[in-house]
A and B are shown apart, each in its own frame.
Chain A
Amino acid sequence: MLLALLGLHAVLAAAAPAVSRRLGRGVFAVCAVAPAATVAYALARAPAAFDGAPASETVAWAGRLGLDLQLRLDAFAVLMVLLVSGIGVLIFAYCAWYFGPRPDLGRFAATLLAFAGSMLGVVLADNVLVLYVFWELTTVTSYLLIGFDHEKGSARAAALQGLLVTAAGGLAMLAGLVVLGEAAGTYTLSAMLADPPAGGAATAGALLALGGAFTKSAQVPFHFWLAGAMAAPTPVSAYLHSATMVKAGVYLVARLAPAFALLGGWRELVVGVGVATMLLGGWRALRQHDLKLLLAYGTVSQLGFMMILLGAGVPEATRAGAVLLLAHGAFKAALFMVVGIVDHQAGTRDLRRLSGLGRRMPATFWVAVVAAASMAGLPPLFGFVAKEAAFEAYLHGGIGPIGPIALGGMALGSVLTFAYSARFVWGAFADKPDVARAGHDGAGAHAPPAAFLAPAALLAVVTVAIGVLPSFAAGLVNAAAAALDPAVEPGTLALWHGFNLALWLSALVIVAGVALFARRREVEHLQARLPSMVDAAQAYHGLVKGLNRGADRVTGLVQNGSLPVYLGTILLTVVALPLPALLSGGLPTPDGVVAESLLQLAVIGGVAVAAIGTVLARRRFAAVLFLGGVGYGVAILFVVQGAPDLALTQLLVETLSLVVFVLVLRHLPENFEVHHWRLGQAFRRAVAGLVGVFVFVFVLAAGQARTSPPVSEAYLAQALPEAGGRNVVNVILVDFRGFDTLGEITVLAVAALGIAGLVRARRRERGDEEPA
């Protein structure tokens, strides 16, 4: 069933372009079927998964590599599926209203659904290699989604940046996963985590895997790609950059942390990076004027928050992290949808040009208030419950020196979060006299249709409902956290814990946050004055530029366009590589036999004469004919030795090459050029002589160096009984070595197409008409 659900995503994605031609925007309704079915199935299987009986499926793939298509729906996967597919359904509903009729809707819906399927695969995969495959599928599909407006250079650049950063991290992760798999002796994720490997290799593998998680989840210093990715259409941001893709890294860390958090440096690294990300993201969010960028940096900050909780491998924190995952998915998707509505209705997302929208679209305003308040961690909302749980987890101590750092970071980050949440609501909806005076009073903005707002409103309702009645989600969160780490004790989620330390901390955060928001102008000015110490985006651009320049240089050095240099390199390599083998094996001892028969002697004599003629010829045409003579002579030798098949092939190939030579010769001068540079000439002669002598000696030595019976004997014995053929050469070609032949004819076909392509390109260069 899990596989069938993934298949449904793929099939509907493939069908989407055709569907959109028929139904227009109705394509989104059709696409929503796949995530909706997934949610329904996950809910149906949830009770069993909570009881520790996860649904799992295995399809054999390449078992010898440890690579089987293993899928597993445990309680944590249920939570992730509800996020990925549940929000997916809402996004598709939202898309139907966001987009006007446009011709490329089918392409958009197809890519978005393919992404949803890939993301589903990431959270369901129970084999680390399969996980990697789906992981990179999300990279590729998100590349297409970010660059959806492919006529805009900026969108393409942002998409490429996201691709390069996340794929580079993904490669590190692949290496890490392979190391872990080899250390654990299994590539099955659940088995690996149940019996985690330890030692140096496991540490290296786990830290490498973090490379993938950090890049995917936009942690410092890789956070810049997420801001760039805002070039995507807003529904894409609402989906990829809030609920799904960027959470893939958090997901992986959450899975691995309980098993590997105590390995050298993991916990310190993850918590440190998480704190830095949470603070940097929140700080940057406070100076953004584009509402979407504000949310993007807010997301970076929240991803850091999740890393601190889920990456530390501390049971209470893991549980708090699961709460935050859910809460963040709900409020962040709702907020991105609100930005899309504002952009759609008012024509801008710049908070310096927005004023009075709160009055003009009150319903949207209230949805935004609820979602932003949840993000800020205000009671009685879901986000508050999550933040309380987070503080609670780290207030207990006993985690070592990293505990207070995490707690302080979270508190400070929460202050920033409060401030940018307020900034968001104020920026989008407040009455701003100065903005209104400048003529941007949002007069043209109407309230959106109810159905456009409905998905965001639904998420806001969920945020309130779970906030007021947290026991609603307690079962899911407890089971999910226990699936990650059996040490997690089930607890209750409550709005009111009494006047404990966490509550006081929350109150402090709110007071500080209000103060920070009130001084927003000063904060903006301060940020503008502070030089950004290290600009990660610039480092990225420098790196890419350097790479390109380096590649140019290497190409210029290696491919300098000189045929003599190419040939000389190839020929000298031919000598240099086997030379050690020849020297270590000893020089051949002549056995005194020059030829076995008179006929053989005659043919060899002919070949020798033709070969000498080739070298001495002054005209190219003569040289080619002599060379052909060598080839035909060898063919006759094959006949004499009783190899008619080889002879036939040699004869035909020789003939065809002669024809090709003649075709080419017409472009070249009649005579070989005479070299005036003596040294160059001498060098060529030396190389030619060396190769000639070497090949002669090597062939003699190889003939004498046989240590095992020739393979031809086995082939001769097997040809008739096993392959039903008496012509061994042919049987080898089409049966024993059929795979090689398949490869060879593929090369032939590609070469033929290459010739056609080259000739056509030259013709176009000359401006000739294509012949019909």
Chain B
Amino acid sequence: MPGSLILDTVTRAVFHTIWVLSLYLLFAGHNAPGGGFVGGLVGGAALVLRYAGAGSDGVRQAVRLRPEALLGGGLLLAGATGLAPWLAGREFLSSASLDIAVPIVGEVHATSALPFDIGVYLVVVGLVLGALVTLGAEEEQEEA
């Protein structure tokens, strides 16, 4: 991949910031714009930037996790969130929410939809990561 030094340097600088934004969108999602899908896409965009700057090796360096692990873990988490209420005798995927007062942080609104959303997030990131690592590696090999 004909990387670009400037792009790569800039990407390295903002890479983690984008991930913070991505995580923020994930957790804010239930009440404000965002959510697992959007958060995952923002994370994916970070990976794409990284790819444009340093190729699929750069992506692999940035995220050490295997895409299969993200995909499987995400599906498992989302599925388990659905199963949990079912095992407790309620309908599949029915949700529950809880307001907890956490010291210092303040009131935290926790819903069972969050782990499900995290599952969606992981799958989306896994998809982008997988595409960049496998498709990108293919491109580079053909050019080499």
Chain A residues with a Cβ under 8 A of chain B: 644-645, 648-649, 652-653, 655-656, 659-660, 663, 666, 723-727, 729-731, 733-735, 738-739, 741-742, 745-746, 748-749, 751-753, 755-756, 759-760, 762-763, 768, 771
Contact = CB atoms under 8 A, between A and B. Distances in A.
B35 A733 contact: yes
B116 to A, nearest CB: 5
Nearest to B71: A749
Contact of A763 (B72, B120, B138): B138
B41 interface: yes
A317 B123 CA distance: 63
B117 A734 contact: yes
B137 to A, nearest CB: 7
A652 B78 contact: no
Interface stretch (B4-12, B100-108, B124-132): B124-132
Contacts of A729: 35
Contacts of B32: 726-727
Contacts of A656: 41, 44-45, 48, 128
A752 B135 CA distance: 10
B141 to A, nearest CB: 7
Contact of A727 (B29, B44, B134): B29
A115 B38 CA distance: 49
Given A742-B82, A759-B135, A759-B138, 9 more contacts: A660-B135, A725-B30, A727-B33, A733-B117, A733-B120, A738-B93, A739-B93, A748-B71, A752-B130
22 contacts: A652-B38, A660-B131, A660-B135, A663-B136, A724-B95, A724-B109, A725-B111, A725-B113, A727-B34, A730-B34, A733-B37, A734-B36, A734-B117, A745-B75, A748-B123, A749-B72, A749-B74, A749-B123, A752-B127, A753-B130, A756-B130, A760-B134
B23 interface: no
A652 B109 CA distance: 27
Contacts of A723: 95, 97, 111, 113
B111 to A, nearest CB: 5
B54 interface: no
B31 interface: yes
Contact of B38 (A645, A655, A666, A748): A645
B37 to A, nearest CB: 7
The listed residue with most A CB atoms (<10 A of its CB), out of B52, B68, B72, B134, is B134
A723 B123 CA distance: 23
A741 B126 contact: no
A759 B134 contact: yes
B35 A730 contact: yes
Nearest to A738: B93
A650 B52 CA distance: 21
Nearest to B110: A724
Contacts of B116: 734, 738, 741
Main secondary structure of the interface of A (DSSP, over half): helix
A727 B78 CA distance: 19
10 tightest A-B contacts by CB? A724-B97, A652-B41, A730-B35, A725-B30, A726-B31, A734-B113, A752-B130, A749-B71, A745-B123, A644-B33
Contacts of A735: 93, 95, 113
A755 B135 contact: yes
B37 A752 contact: no
A738 B92 CA distance: 10
Contacts of B74: 745, 749
The listed residue with most B CB atoms (<10 A of its CB), out of A746, A751, A755, is A755
Interface string B62-99: 00000110011011001100100000000011010100
A753 B120 contact: no
Given A726-B31, A742-B79, A742-B93, A649 B111 contact: no
Interface string B12-51: 0000000000000100011111111110011011001001
Contacts of A648: 25, 33-34, 38
The listed residue with most A CB atoms (<10 A of its CB), out of B42, B92, B119, B131, is B131
The listed residue with most B CB atoms (<10 A of its CB), out of A652, A756, A763, is A652
A724 B123 CA distance: 24
A727 B72 contact: no
A730 B34 CA distance: 7
A733 to B, nearest CB: 6
Given A733-B35, A748-B123, A652 B138 contact: no
Contacts of B52: 659
Contacts of A763: 138, 141
Given A726-B31, A768-B141, A649 B48 contact: no
A727 B37 CA distance: 13
Contacts of A725: 30-31, 111, 113
A760 to B, nearest CB: 8
Given A645-B35, A727-B32, A741-B120, A749 B79 contact: no
A44 B89 CA distance: 35
Contact of B68 (A724, A733, A753): A753
A759 B119 CA distance: 26
B130 A755 contact: yes
B135 A663 contact: yes
Contact of A731 (B36, B68, B113, B123): B113
A731 B136 CA distance: 35
B113 A649 contact: no
Contacts of A655: 45, 48
Nearest to B36: A734
Contacts of A652: 38, 41-42, 44-45
Contacts of B123: 745, 748-749
B109 A752 contact: no
Given A653-B41, A656-B45, A724-B109, A748 B135 contact: no
A192 B124 CA distance: 51
A771 B137 contact: yes
B55 to A, nearest CB: 12
Nearest to B75: A749
A739 B33 CA distance: 21
Nearest to A751: B127
A663 B139 contact: yes
Nearest to B40: A652
Contacts of A739: 82, 92-93
A756 B67 contact: yes
The listed residue with most B CB atoms (<10 A of its CB), out of A723, A748, A759, is A748
A769 to B, nearest CB: 11
Nearest to B109: A724
A656 B37 CA distance: 13
A734 B39 CA distance: 14
B38 A649 contact: yes
Nearest to B141: A768
B126 A752 contact: yes
B46 to A, nearest CB: 11
A753 B75 CA distance: 13
Nearest to A649: B38
Contacts of B82: 738-739, 742
Contact of B75 (A733, A746, A771): A746
Contacts of A759: 134-135, 137-138
A734 B48 CA distance: 26
Nearest to A659: B48
B68 A727 contact: no
B142 to A, nearest CB: 8
A648 B26 CA distance: 13
A735 to B, nearest CB: 5
B67 A752 contact: yes
A730 B114 CA distance: 10
A741 B42 CA distance: 19
Contacts of B79: 742
Nearest to A724: B97
The listed residue with most A CB atoms (<10 A of its CB), out of B33, B42, B72, B135, is B33
